[in-house]
Amino acid sequence: MFTEISTNTLSSLKEMAKGISVLYVEDDPLIRVQYLTFLSHIFDSLESAENGEEGLHRALSSKFDIIISDVQMPKMCGVEMIERIKEVYTDQLTLLVSAHKEPDILHKSVQLGIDGYLFKPLDRYQTIETLHKLVSKIVLKRENENYKQHLEEMVQIKTQEALNVYFIDHITSLNSLVKLEKDMGEYPTSTLVELKIRDFKMLNDLYGYDIGNNILVQTASFLKKCVTEEFMFVYYGLYRVSGAHFAILVPSEETKIEQYIHHIIQSFELIPIIINDERVFLEMDAGIVHCGEGLTLSHADAALRKAERNGHIVTYISDSMMIEKYANRLKCRNIIKEAIQENRIIPYYQPIIDNTTGKIKKYEALARLITPEGDVISPCKFIPISKETKMYPMITKIIVESALNDFRDSECSVSINLSIDDIKHPSTKEFLLDQISNFPDPSRIVFELLESEEIGSYLEVVDFFAVLKEFGCGIAIDDFGSGYSSFEHLVNLNVDYIKIDGSLVRHLDMSRSSRVIVESIAMFASKMGIKTIAEFVSTQSISAYIAQYGIDESQGYLFGKPLPFNLNMNQIQPKEQIHLVQDDIIKIVN
């Protein structure tokens, strides 16, 4: 008969033992049955083994909360088995069962950290009391672990709440500097763009902090709209770093980020900020750091400071990158030199459509470098290097001579690019005039001057253009709208055409600001009697806007890709015919 104390202890033990697993190891079948019968009334999860080897295998195969083992067993004694188990599970709880109190076994069990002893034959009272202590220890440990986990979860929640305060800028609701630093660590192979409102301190001093904060809010709203609605490029985050500094973190795979930032700044400077019901136009600068150049805020700041001094957008280049750049430049110079010597710099021609008649009356000559393997390299890859290495005049002469020879007997006109360097180069000017004088109909020649080129003094350019016009040549401003366009250029240079920059045209069906700018250029040109040409017309939806704005001519992949000269370019063709002709040419080229 159990006493009242042992009965209460047994009830408590059964309740606490729920979910606790036990392994009982005993070689004597009678004692094993007796103990298992007794233990089964207490533990739901109970397994047994008949010797030390089997017990070791079971214990290592599946972790048990408690292991109860006889001492003396064949194959492997209980003490050795427990010693082997504790080599794997150092915190394993164990009880030894023995009919004798051998001093050596007691000493060894103390060294192993045995948690208690049970007797043979079964002493129920002693067994219940011993198990109660051990199970209480397990329950307490689990409660402590649960409580610790709960505390850790609470700490994580509170920490996250605190971090959210630091992660969000309280003025603009954009991400904060702290969040930017965290994201830069999470996305180390990114591109960082830092933007700054120019002369913001002066605005703060003039209007006060409240108005300054309102400017920041309007700017944040504008930037968010640009990245999410206007240009919709992939980005990791938009941030207010400090003061009038904003930042955008984008994947390194986004290769057009400089172009996007250019348009963002251009749009920002065209859209007024409202200050006390007044419309104020602000300016913005940007510094860009690519991952390979050391993705740090200090590098972005360095690029931004240079942008404030020298121009709107500056990309940071580290010393190591500069060395690599020089090496690539040297390699490119050799490639260009060999291409000139081997006549592998040739013009490709892209059709220009008359939007009124739908016919192709003109082609633009575009320089291409053909590698020995037959690959076609676009001019943006080699023209900048050629200018730095004094090979550019030779390329200009090659393209001009080839284009005029190709179109000598054609009904179509040809448009040729010129730079300020060409106009300022005496031998190039002399060469151009000689080529024009020997061309049968100079009125079929149009020369395009890049609007983004730094014209400086107009006198030399105006005088040269006047000479070209005396021959009957047409004059066009190329990439108009890509830089700080001055309509005064058009008046001073007496141009015949404006070629609207492709970066504006390609976004007509997505960007309202692009549509406003293009429509304004078209209206101004029409009133000035200047014809307009839209570049980079690639879709029917863009072409529809071009027609809506009354733009005179179109150029782009919708009508044809640049290709080498072919006999079909000798006749004026309807635009529907160009793709059939190009397909045949591409097959021949390939």
Q: What is the pLDDT of residue 292?
A: 67
Going by C-beta distance under 8 Å and a sequence separation of 6 or more, which residues neighbour residue 538? 506, 556, 557, 558
What are the distances in angstroms from CA 142 to CA 22, 86, 194, 471, 513?
Answer: 16, 20, 51, 97, 64
As a whole number of angstroms, the distance between CA 41 and CA 48 comes to 15
**How does DSSP classify residue 65?**
S
Cα(533)–Cα(93) distance, integer angstroms? 86
Half-sphere exposure for 137 (CA within 13 Å, toward CB): 14
Pairing of β 21-25 and β 45-49: parallel
- Count of alpha carbons within 13 Å of 577, Cβ hemisphere only? 10
CATH architecture of 4-143: 3-Layer(aba) Sandwich (3.40)
**Closest by alpha carbon to 497, among 472, 468, 531, 473?**
531
Write out the H or E segment, with its range, that includes residue 174: none
Note if the bond before 121 is cis, omega within 30 degrees. Answer: yes
> What span, in angstroms and rounded, lies between the C-alpha atoms of 376 and 10?
89
The 117-119 sheet, strands edge to edge: 45-49, 21-25, 66-70, 93-98, 117-119
- Predicted confidence at residue 585, as pLDDT, reads 43
Strand-by-strand arrangement of the 237-242 sheet: 237-242, 245-251, 190-197, 284-289, 313-315
Count of CB atoms situated within 10 Å of the CB of 157: 10
* Residue 90: alpha-carbon gap to chain centroid: 48
Counting beta carbons within 10 angstroms of the beta carbon of residue 500, is it exposed (0 to 12), middle (13 to 18) or buried (19 or more)?
buried
d(CA 420, CA 435): 19
Name residue 75's amino acid: K
Q: How far apart are CA 573 and CA 303, in angstroms?
A: 49
Cβ 196 vs Cβ 244: under 8 Å: yes
Structure tokens at 450: 């890049």
Looking at 381-473, list the stretches that DSSP marks H as alpha helix, in order from N- to C-terminal side.
383-388, 392-406, 420-424, 426-437, 458-471
Q: What angle do CA 221, 225, 229 make, to 5 degrees?
A: 165
Domain topology for 323-589: TIM Barrel (3.20.20)
Quote the pLDDT of residue 53.
Answer: 93
358: left (phi over 0), alpha (psi -120 to 50) or beta: left
Structure tokens at 188: 């180390």
Q: What pLDDT was estimated at residue 321?
A: 59
What residues pair up with 56 in beta bridges, in sequence order? none
Integer-rounded Cα Rg, in Å, for the chain is: 41
Domain coordinates in residue numbering, the chain? 4-143, 177-317, 323-589
Sort 535 into a burial class: Cβ within 10 Å, 0-12 / 13-18 / 19+.
buried
> Residue 531: what residue type?
K
Q: In angstroms, rounded to a whole number, what is the distance separating the alpha carbons of residues 428 and 438?
A: 16
* Architecture of the domain defined by 177-317: 2-Layer Sandwich (3.30)
Q: What is d(CA 281, CA 272) in angstroms, rounded to the nearest whole number?
A: 5
pTM as predicted = 0.48
| Residue that is written with structure tokens 């020089």 in the block | 326
Tell me the two tokens of residue 229: 């609605």
Structure tokens, 469: 């016009």
Measured CA distances, 117 to 41, 69, 131, 440, 528 (Å) = 20, 10, 10, 116, 107
CA atoms within 13 A on the CB side of 87: 7
- Are 302 and 316 in contact by the 8 Å Cβ rule? The answer is yes
Burial of 297 (0-12, 13-18, 19+ CB in 10 A): buried
Q: Which residue in the block uniquely carries the two structure tokens 């001579």? A: 401
* Calpha distance 279→271 (Å, rounded): 9
- Closest Cα partner for 480 from 469, 488, 471? 488
Cβ-based burial of 111 (10 A; exposed 0-12, middle 13-18, buried ≥19): exposed
Q: What string of pLDDT tens digits covers the 590 residues of the chain?
A: 444 446 677 888 888 899 999 999 999 999 999 999 999 999 999 999 999 999 999 999 999 999 999 988 888 988 899 999 999 999 899 998 887 666 666 666 767 788 888 888 888 888 888 899 899 989 998 888 888 888 888 888 877 777 677 788 989 999 999 899 989 988 888 999 999 998 888 888 888 888 999 999 999 999 999 988 887 788 999 999 988 999 999 998 777 888 889 999 988 988 888 888 888 889 999 999 987 666 788 888 888 888 888 877 888 776 555 556 656 766 888 889 999 999 999 999 999 999 999 999 999 999 999 999 898 988 888 888 888 778 899 999 999 999 999 999 999 999 999 988 898 888 999 999 999 999 999 999 999 987 555 555 567 888 899 999 999 999 998 888 765 445 666 777 789 999 998 888 988 988 888 899 899 999 999 999 999 999 999 999 999 999 999 999 999 999 999 999 999 999 988 866 555 444 544 444 44
* Helix-helix angle 257-270:209-225, to 10 degrees: 130
Going 229 to 233 to 234 to 236, the CA torsion angle's sign is negative
Residue 233 confidence (pLDDT): 82
Strands (E), 154-264: 190-197, 237-242, 245-251
DSSP percent split of the chain into helix, strand, coil, nearest 5 = 50, 20, 30
Which spans in 253-390 are helix H? 257-270, 297-310, 319-341, 383-388
> Pick from 176, 162, 319: which is nearest to 241 by CA?
176
